[in-house]
Amino acid sequence: MKIYIDGKFFGERDAKVSVFDHGLLYGDGIFEGIRAYNGRVFKLREHIDRLFCSAKAILLNIPLSHATMMKAVVDTLRANRIRDGYVRLLVTRGPGTLGLNPNRCKKPCVIIIAGKIQLYPEAYYVKGMEIVTVPTTRNLHSALNPAIKSLNYLNNILAKIEANQAGCEEAVMLNAEGYVAECTGDNLFIVKAGELFTPPLSAGALYGITRATVIALAKAAGYPVSEPNLTRYDLFNADECFLTGTGAEMVPVVKIDGRVIGNGKPGSVTKKLVKSYHALTNETGEPIYV
Ligand code: PXG
């Protein structure tokens, strides 16, 4: 595996960062998770756009242009001869001193790792998965805005641990007001009477790229989509539920907090959208090998 660090490629054993990097010391940095399908990088521009937005929100100056960053991702996939895979792109505040002050960090560090990902077992995609709401609420906008894809994922990790302790692999996170926000690494949708609903971004969700893609696909297929505040009651009484994310893609949910959703099987609207999502991932994106 060849790992990109600040413009150079290193083997796995030599790919190292400083212990004084504020990404490690404080979780001070940002990241993206990107996927390649069939020799193309899916929604690359959108991911790099979001990376630059996260950077702006934390006053981090990415030392590359948007175009150079896109090229670096493609180059890393090419260097690893990957046609189908996963890219983890990180920008840390860079090495500094043992102290919070980010002014001591002179140069942000850009890392690109290209490999494989399988988030959930195959059976979940066929039979659907069971999820639970957890006690840890989503971060407040006024504290650490959930729209920032920061290297500080402790909020999500605590929720994930709570889900695991309840025997589930994913958690529904509510916001401080009790409305559904999202899951720890995916956005959430429900289907009710042929309409799609997903929490508004203001409820405390990441501006998911898969979410936006699925909304567009659903609208194109003639399904109304809206973004009202949702409560657990709305989830329990949905006909169908599914999660969306770059890693998870689209995964059907058949049980929430012990309540069976719909008929307990992945629903027909979900299945139809999964098909069109896969068609899109297979056919569109930035070519890696030209
Ligand atoms: N919410 C959160 C909190 C996320 O971290 C999503 C929603 C879905 O966003 P996208 O843009 O991917 O549709 C994410 C994305 C991993 C992994 O390694 C996590 C994500 C993406 C890829 C890999 O667990 N989270």
Q: Are residues 107 and 150 in the same domain?
A: no
CA dist 2 → 21, 73, 86, 108, 262 (Å) = 21, 12, 13, 20, 46
Residue where a domain terminates, one of 74, 96, 115: 115
Q: Are residues 99 and 198 in the same domain?
A: no
Atom nearest to 149 CA in ligand 1: 5
Separation of 210 CA from ligand 1 center, angstroms? 9
Residue 191, in any domain of the structure: yes
Residue 290, in any domain of the structure: no
Tell me which of 71, 149, 219, 275 is the catalytic residue: 149
pLDDT-derived band at 290 (thresholds 50, 70, 90) equals confident
Q: Whose CA is nearest to atom 19 of ligand 1?
A: 185
Residue 44, in any domain of the structure: yes
What domain count does the chain have? 2
Q: Are residues 152 and 268 in the same domain?
A: yes
Atom nearest to 213 CA in ligand 1: 13
- Judged on CB neighbours under 10 Å (0-12, 13-18, 19+), 259 is exposed
Q: Are residues 147 and 109 in the same domain?
A: no
- Mean pLDDT value of segment 19-36: 98
Range of the domain at 71: 2-115
Is the per-residue pLDDT at 90 higher than 90?
A: yes
Average pLDDT, the chain: 97
Is the per-residue pLDDT at 130 higher than 90?
A: yes
Q: Whose CA is nearest to atom 3 of ligand 1?
A: 185
Atom nearest to 210 CA in ligand 1: 13
Q: Are residues 202 and 75 in the same domain?
A: no
Residue 289, in any domain of the structure: no
- Looking up residue 230, the CATH number of its domain turns out to be 3.20.10.10
Is the per-residue pLDDT at 12 higher than 90?
A: yes
Residue where a domain terminates, one of 115, 144, 163: 115
Residue where a domain terminates, one of 87, 115, 143: 115
pLDDT of residue 119: 80
Q: Are residues 88 and 138 in the same domain?
A: no
Q: Are residues 230 and 144 in the same domain?
A: yes
pLDDT of residue 224: 98
- Cα 231 vs. chain centroid, distance in angstroms? 22
Separation of 213 CA from ligand 1 center, angstroms? 14
- Ligand 1: residue of 187, 211, 249 to mutate (most ligand atoms within 8 A of CB) is 187
pLDDT-derived band at 274 (thresholds 50, 70, 90) equals very high
Q: Are residues 85 and 189 in the same domain?
A: no
pLDDT tens per residue, range 138-195: 999 999 999 999 999 999 999 999 999 999 999 999 999 999 999 999 999 999 999 9
Higher pLDDT, 120 or 222: 222
Q: Whose CA is nearest to atom 16 of ligand 1?
A: 247
Separation of 134 CA from ligand 1 center, angstroms? 18
Residue 287, in any domain of the structure: no
Separation of 28 CA from ligand 1 center, angstroms? 18
* DSSP classification of residue 98: S
Rounded to two decimals, the pTM is 0.97
Residue 130, in any domain of the structure: yes
Q: Is 56 a catalytic residue?
A: no
- Answer yes or no: are the C-beta atoms of 63 and 225 closer than 8 Å: no
Q: Are residues 62 and 150 in the same domain?
A: no
Residue 35, in any domain of the structure: yes
Backbone dihedral angles phi then psi of residue 34, each to the nearest 5 degrees: -125, 150
- Cα 97 vs. chain centroid, distance in angstroms? 30
Quote the tokens at residue 287: 């070519």
Proportion of the chain above pLDDT 90, given as a percent? 98
Q: Are residues 53 and 151 in the same domain?
A: no
CA dist 4 → 51, 73, 174, 248 (Å) = 17, 9, 37, 24
- Mean pLDDT value of segment 81-91: 97
Atom nearest to 182 CA in ligand 1: 1
Q: Which residues line ligand 1 (CB under 6 A)?
A: 33, 119, 156, 182, 185-187, 206, 208-211, 244-247
Separation of 149 CA from ligand 1 center, angstroms? 9
- Looking up residue 98, the CATH number of its domain turns out to be 3.30.470.10
pLDDT of residue 218: 98
